A and B are shown apart, each in its own frame.
Chain A
Amino acid sequence: MMTDSTMPAHAPAATPETQAQLLPFVLQLADTSLILAHRLSEWCGHGPILEQDLAMANIALDLLGEARSYYQYAAELEGKGRTEDDLAYLRPAVEYRNPLLVEQPNGDFAHTIVRQFIYDAFHYHLLLQLQQGPDAQLAAIAEKSVKEAAYHIKWSSEWVIRLGDGTDESRQRIEKAIRNLWRFGGELTTSTSTEQALQAAGLVPNYTALRQQMEAHVARVFEEATLPVPEGVFMQQGGKDGRHSEHLGYLLAELQYLQRTYPGLQW
Chain B
Amino acid sequence: METLELTQEEQFQARIDADVRIEPKDWMPEAYRKTLIRQISQHAHSELVGMLPEGNWITRAPSLKRKSILLAKVQDEAGHGLYLYSAAETLGTTRDQMLADLHSGKAKYSSIFNYPTLSWADMGCVGWLVDGAAILNQVPLCRTSYGPYARAMVRVCKEESFHQRQGFEIMQTLCEGAPEQKAMAQEALNRWWWPTLMMFGPADADSPNTEQSMKWRIKRFTNDELRQKFVDMMVPQAEFLGLTVPDEKVRWNEERQAYDFGEVNWEEFWNVVKGNGLCNQERLQARVDAWEEGAWVREAALAHAAKRAGRELAKSAA
Q: Are B75 and A54 in contact (CB under 8 A)?
A: yes
- Nearest-CB distance from A38 to chain B (Å)? 6
Q: Are B79 and A48 in contact (CB under 8 A)?
A: no
Q: Are B59 and A255 in contact (CB under 8 A)?
A: yes
**Given known A-B contacts A45-B290, A46-B289, A170-B297, A57 and B64 have beta carbons under 8 A apart:** no
In the bound complex, CA of A267 to CA of B66 (Å): 8
CB proximity to B under 8 Å, residues A214-267: 254-255, 257-259, 262, 265-267
Q: Are B60 and A255 in contact (CB under 8 A)?
A: yes
Q: Which B-chain residue is minimally distant from A42 (CB atoms)?
A: B59
In the bound complex, CA of A165 to CA of B306 (Å): 11
* B residues in contact with A170, CB < 8 Å: 296-297, 299-300, 303
A41 contacts partner chain B, Cβ-Cβ < 8 Å: yes
Q: Are A162 and B301 in contact (CB under 8 A)?
A: yes
- Chain A residues with a Cβ closer than 8 Å to the other chain, count: 48
Main secondary structure of the interface of B (DSSP, over half): helix
* A residues in contact with B307, CB < 8 Å: 165
CB proximity to B under 8 Å, residues A85-125: 85, 88-89, 108-109
In the bound complex, CA of A65 to CA of B72 (Å): 11
Q: Shortest 10 CB-CB distances between A and B: which pairs?
A: A48-B294, A166-B300, A170-B300, A44-B55, A48-B297, A258-B62, A45-B51, A57-B75, A267-B62, A54-B78
Given pairs A41-B71, A48-B298, 14 additional interface contacts (CB within 8 A): A38-B59, A42-B59, A44-B55, A45-B55, A46-B289, A48-B291, A48-B297, A64-B71, A89-B63, A162-B300, A254-B60, A258-B120, A267-B63, A267-B177
Query: What are 18 A-B residue pairs whose CB atoms fall within 8 Å in the complex?
Result: A41-B58, A44-B71, A46-B290, A47-B294, A48-B295, A60-B71, A67-B64, A68-B65, A68-B68, A170-B299, A173-B296, A255-B59, A262-B62, A262-B181, A265-B177, A265-B181, A266-B177, A267-B66
